[in-house]
Amino acid sequence: MSVQTRELYRSANGDRWCLAQETVTRHVFIKHEANPSSGGQLTNIEIGEFLRIGGNSPEHQALLRLIGTLVEDSPNA
């Protein structure tokens, strides 16, 4: 199954977080790629779980900013 991604945040140590969507099912989730020195493991995280466990980290702030742009650009705002 094909997945489209949009990078949300890349940390100084090389960890990467992307907003991802499966192209067929349209399922949306967060894809985390650990840095190579940590093994480069890929983890898919449901958005609700990602926000629940996130606190105020930079990757969570990046997702919230992206969500905020959906409201700011809305003609009904």
Residue type, 74: S
pLDDT of residue 75: 65
Q: How far apart are CA 74 and CA 2, in angstroms?
A: 29
Taking the model in full, what pTM does it have? Answer: 0.83
Q: What is the pLDDT of residues 21-54, one digit of tens each?
A: 999 999 999 999 999 999 999 999 999 999 998 7
What pLDDT does residue 61 have? 94
Question: What span, in angstroms and rounded, lies between the C-alpha atoms of 17 and 46?
Answer: 12
The pLDDT, as a whole number, for residue 1 is 75
Least confident of 9-13, 14-18, 54-58, 61-65: 54-58
